[in-house]
Every structure is written in structure tokens, then in C-alpha cells.
Amino acid sequence: MILIVEDEAKIARFVQLELEHEGYTVKHISDGREALESALAHDYELIILDLMLPSMSGIELLRRLRQSKDTPVIILTARDQVMDKVAGLDIGANDYMTKPFAIEELLARIRVHLKRNEPSRSEQLTYEKLLINRGSRTVTYDGVPIELTKKEYDLLVYLLENKNIVITREQALDAVWGFDFYGNTNVVDVYVRYLRSKIDDVFDIKVVRTVRGAGYMIKD
């Protein structure tokens, strides 16, 4: 999930829509202090940080964040805030954009920093004859294509990335639906059922196991 910290509602809304269109999950906070608390409490993949904010400046937020976290941060600065840009990079911003900016450029930089932060993940995930290609986001079983919705795909990938580890419903909810999903953990059960009906039932295999009282696991 990407956090946007920006008090100008129009910019925040625009960036959020563009990012969501690209398939990212996004959280927006307009207040500096609140954003710092959220950034410390959660492991955001990346933070887009405006500098002039209510209650705490972006620079101060970043300084405090860096005491314990190395979440990639792209700062947004106005043209006349050169000193802030320098200060931001000094205290650990990974990149900066000057407002007004082209959204394509911001998207390109986000991709760069997300990639850099990724623990060299492999392009393909497999489980027996089940093959997931992350590049094309396709899933096949023994060469037969399986059509999954985005959430089904994300859940399957998350469980496979954590093979042999029991995943609680809360963990799955956080990873796939995001922290600000309003609903209960039953949604995870529902999506596991969808996966089973599209994979297990069709190919007569057992992919996602239920671990009684704990959650779900894909086990070798």
C-alpha cells in the first residue's frame, strides 16, 4: 500500500485516482502528525510526502520516520522550496518531485523505488503444476489458463509467497485488501472458497489448506 500525505485535496485525489488506476492500493492522510503515526504503525511500500502540512511539516515527519523506518519516500515540493528539497534528501528522502509535476513521471519514479525495495522476487511462482507469472499476471494449471479476479489473484500470490507459513485472516486482509478495508475477516473465507472452486474443484488438487483456529496455508 502507498501512503499519500498531502493536504491539498485536489492533488491528493488526483494522485490517488491515478495510482489506483495503475493497480496500487492507496491511503491518503492530509495531516502531518496523523500521517507519521500511520507510517510508523504500518509497513507502507512507499510514501508520497508533501512538505507543507498541517500540525507537522513533511521534513519533521520524515526525520522522525527515519529514526525507525526506511520506507521509500518521494517528497513533493513547490518550485520555490529548493532548501526544503535539499533538507529532505539530507534526512533520507529517496526522491523528490517539484510541483506541478507530470503524473507519468511520478508513476515512473514510484516504480523505480518499489523495485529497489523489493527483495528480488521471482517472476514465477509455482505450486505443483500451478504456475503464476507475475509479469503477465496469468495463472495456469498444467498449461490450462485459470481466470482469477484481481483479489483472488492477490490472495493466491500472497499465500504462495508465504508458502508453509500459516496466514491469519487478519494478515491476509491487511496484505490483500489493505488496512482501511471496512468489513470483517469473513471476506478472506469467501475468497478462499472462490479460489478452491476455480482451482481445486476443477483440477482435483488441494492448494489452500485450512488451519483450524489459525488461518490458511499453502503447504509443500
DSSP state of 53: -
Asked if 56 touches Ca ion (CB under 5 A), the answer is no
Residues 6+ apart with CB under 8 A from 2: 19, 24, 25, 26, 27, 44, 45, 46, 47, 48, 110
Handedness of CA 29, 33, 37, 43 (dihedral sign): positive
CA separation for the pair 1, 114 (Å, rounded): 11
User: Can you tell me which of 7, 34, 95, 189 binds Ca ion, judged by CB under 5 A?
Assistant: 7
Residue of closest CB approach to Ca ion:
52
Asked if 11 touches Ca ion (CB under 5 A), the answer is no
Considering the complex, what minimum distance in angstroms separates the CB of residue 33 from Ca ion? Answer: 14
* Complex with Ca ion: residue 8 or 189, whichever CB lies closer: 8
Tell me the window of 6-14, 61-69, 78-86, 153-161 that interacts with Ca ion (CB under 5 A).
6-14
* Complex with Ca ion: residue 52 or 91, whichever CB lies closer: 52
Nearest residue to 47 (alpha-carbon basis) of 94, 8, 91, 87: 94
Tell me the window of 2-10, 39-47, 100-108, 164-172 that interacts with Ca ion (CB under 5 A).
2-10
Nearest residue to 72 (alpha-carbon basis) of 106, 104, 99, 34: 106
Asked if 31 touches Ca ion (CB under 5 A), the answer is no
Instruction: Enumerate binding residues for Ca ion (CB under 5 A).
Output: 7, 50, 52
